[in-house]
Amino acid sequence: MVPPPVTRGLLRAVFGLPGPVKRLIAGAPVRLDGQRLDLDAQLLLRMTRLEGGHLAAPTVEEARRGLRRGQSYLDRVPARPVRTRDVDAGGVPARLYTPKGLPAGSPLLVFYHGGGWVIGGLDTHDTVCRYLAVHADVRVLSVAYRLAPEHRYPAATEDAVAAYEWAVANAGTLDADPAAVAVGGDSAGGNLAAVVGLLAERRPDFALLFYPAADLTVRRRSRELFADGFYLTDDDMTWFRDHYCPDEERRADPAASPLLAEDLSGFPATYLVTAGFDPLRDEGEAFARRLAEAGVPVAARRQDDLVHGFVNMWPLGGRFREALSEAAGALRTGLRAGPPKRQG
């Protein structure tokens, strides 16, 4: 019932407090699996519990409203202006982000938002796309793929591939370099980016994967360790999976669970980052290991003091922003200092 501007002001005030005061509010340090939770992450979790603390909800629309409301509290944008415009990416709605002063012929990131394939959208990940555009010095095409349960698997994967292939074919009209097109996304969006890396006829030049959902068939140890209390819960993931892919037999499809693909050898060079206190940690890291075993250049990074969803939390500063900044640097380097660019 509190208006978003009031909540935003409260968040800024609390996170601006001295460390000892924040510790009093957050409680005793949390240590689990040899990791210590970042103070600001713990503080945010404490405040999130005041609003219920779960991404899933009794109805899909309630869950969508909850995520939109939560993101409205984190509306900070980078200082460098970013121009946006709506784009029809081969029949899939999308939004193009272009930082001020970025010359034509820049690299392009095709980005897929998180939200369990059920919630989330262009607006919930607007600040993330702006940050990546500015700090990686790239254009970003954010894709509004169809959501479940209105459009179940494989609708999202079809949209993800279609938007990427349209972006490659039309890079020139976006003032982007057709030989430097990356895919990226967080959580469910990381899953879709991985699927594009597997299925696209013209493979991406780089993949930026934030804590991707990689396997819908197995509950690994991290699902047990961090089942509740760390933003994304085990129950949330079950709720998302059941809405997205209710057909149990299809969950083993590589287009649903890219970790189960037989051959990963053609996958693009990758920066894959997980969060230490995240139910999806172990499956993301298993995917990184499989990429390395297949000979794919992969930088696997665990931000061991953070939680799922940290990319959306960067406006709070601290470790959230540090982690996203590191990923932006990896994207910038991967697209500009990687293997020789293919032509055409």
Structure tokens at 134: 């500015």
How far is Cα of residue 76 from the mean position of the Cα atoms in its chain? 18
Query: Residue 15 belongs to what H/E stretch?
Result: helix 4-15
* Domain boundaries of the chain, sorted by first residue: 4-336
Residues marked active site are found at: 187, 278, 308
One digit per residue, the tens of pLDDT, for the chain of length 344 reads 566 677 778 888 899 999 999 999 999 999 999 999 999 999 999 988 876 667 999 999 999 999 998 888 888 899 999 999 999 999 999 999 999 999 999 999 999 999 999 999 999 999 999 999 999 999 999 999 999 999 999 999 999 999 999 999 999 999 999 999 999 999 999 999 999 999 999 999 999 999 999 999 999 999 999 999 999 999 999 999 999 999 999 999 999 999 999 999 999 999 999 999 999 999 999 999 999 999 999 999 999 999 999 999 999 999 999 999 999 999 999 998 655 444 44
Dihedral, CA atoms, 206, 154, 245, 213, nearest 10 degrees? 0
CATH of domain 4-336: 3.40.50.1820
